[in-house]
Structure 1
Amino acid sequence: MRLFKLLVIGVIILCGLSFLLSLLFPSTAVVERTGVINAPIDTVYAHVSNLRAWDAWNPWTRPDSTATLVYSDPAAGTGAWYSWEGKLNSGKVTILDSAPGKGIHYLLDIKGVRPVSSGIELKPSADGKGTAIFWHQEIKLGLLPWWKLRGFVADKIYGPVMESGLTKLSQVCEHR
């Protein structure tokens, strides 16, 4: 019985120390990717601000091949949204702010997961012939240690997918 009590006390102390140590970790994870697209800024903005155009380039538009998508009317600009319902999950993307020639900020809300604040910012490239693009996501991790540990691998998990999306966006915009 005494061994059992010591084991329980040890587990409680270990959990408490893990939680206290996790308070030192950041409570948000930021994933960012940049690129240059050899297309006018208006062309890139048209594909970024119109949620119906996301299917051609955004790797997260249809997270589940069985998902049913529903779009707002209009599906572009501030306040536009789309939602999906699938076997794996459901969620909604809402454009919070949209400025022609500058980009968008949007909220990704997946059922059972904390909302992700994201943005795609545009500006003329250094040579003035293309569009520089900056895609960022800020993921709120919360206070629980196992969620905070996810923040350390967020860039490795989401970064390559974002790079793939930027490559597809570049192909779509440049071959227009």
Structure 2
Amino acid sequence: MRFIKLLLLSAIVFGTMIFLISLLFPSRAIVERSGVIDAPIEKVYAQINNLSTWPEWNPWAAPDVAQKITFADKKEGKGASYTWSGMQREKPVSGTVIITESSPAKGVYYNLDFSRMKPMTGAFEIKPSADGKGTAIQWRLETKLGMLPWWKLRGFLADKLTGPQLETGLTKLRNLCEQK
């Protein structure tokens, strides 16, 4: 009986310590990647503003992830959206993307809801490159993690989990935009 009490007390103390330590962790995770595309800003904007082009370069809209994509009537600019579903690692996944703001001078901002994940806000910020010949682009995803320790721990892993996908997407976007 004494062993069970000690075990129960240890579990409560350990759980409380984990929760208290997690209060020191950030409550949001931000993953960013940037690059330069040797193409006019109008060409880059046309790709990121039109959701029907996303399956060509966006890793979450790729056919191996999003086997079924349903576009809304509006596919470009503010209010454009699509829903998708598919299988990833033998588990069903689904999501929704809605463009919340779009401007050739700033870029494209959107909301992303992904099954079994916290909602995210995303942004493609664009501006002329330093030499004026191309387009500087930054892709950013932000997730509000809340107070639960397991979500905050996932926030520490966000860059390792999501960063490579952003890099792959930007590389595909660059290759697509730089084609003559």
1:92 is matched with: 96
Query: What 5-or-longer segments of structure 1 have no aligned partner?
Result: none
- The counterpart of 1:113, out of the listed 92, 114, 117, is 117
Cα distance, 1:85 vs structure 2 = 2.2
Distance 1:131 1:79, change over 3 A: same
Structure 2 CA distance, aligned partners of 1:119 and 1:59?
Answer: 15
- The counterpart of 1:102, out of the listed 87, 100, 106, is 106
- Which amino acid is the alignment partner of residue 139 of structure 1? T
2:52 is matched with: 52
Q: Report the identity percentage.
A: 53
Structure 2 CA distance, aligned partners of 1:62 and 1:108?
Answer: 15
- Asked if the contact 1:42/1:101 (under 8 Å) is kept, the reply is no
- Which amino acid is the alignment partner of residue 159 of structure 1? G
1:41 aligns with 2:45: no
1:148 aligns with 2:149: no
Distance 1:168 1:62, change over 3 A: closer
TM-score w.r.t. the length of structure 1 is 0.95
Query: What 5-or-longer segments of structure 2 have no aligned partner?
Result: none
Structure 1 CA distance, aligned partners of 2:64 and 2:147?
Answer: 29
- Asked if the contact 2:66/2:84 (under 8 Å) is kept, the reply is no
Give the secondary-structure state (helix, strand or coil) at the position aligned to 1:89.
strand
Superposed structure 1 runs of 4+ greater than 3 Å apart: 62-66
Structure 1 CA distance, aligned partners of 2:65 and 2:35?
Answer: 28
Structure 2 CA distance, aligned partners of 1:152 and 1:53?
Answer: 31
Give the secondary-structure state (helix, strand or coil) at the position aligned to 1:128.
coil
Structure 2 CA distance, aligned partners of 1:160 and 1:63?
Answer: 18
Q: How does 1:2-13 map to 2 (within 5 A)?
A: 2-13=2-13
Distance 1:39 1:141, change over 3 A: same
Cα distance, 1:67 vs structure 2 = 2.3
Distance 1:65 1:17, change over 3 A: closer
2:28 is matched with: 28
1:171 is matched with: 175
Cα distance, 1:66 vs structure 2 = 6.3
TM-score w.r.t. the length of structure 2 is 0.93
Cα distance, 1:63 vs structure 2 = 6.9
- Asked if the contact 1:45/1:101 (under 8 Å) is kept, the reply is no
Cα distance, 1:152 vs structure 2 = 1.3
Cα distance, 1:160 vs structure 2 = 1.2
More displaced stretch, 55-64 vs 7-16: 55-64
Structure 2 CA distance, aligned partners of 1:153 and 1:63?
Answer: 25
CA displacement, residues 52-77 of structure 1 (integer Å, 9 cap, x when unaligned): 01111111113755621100122010
2:73 is matched with: 73
- Asked if the contact 2:94/2:114 (under 8 Å) is kept, the reply is yes
1:162 aligns with 2:166: yes
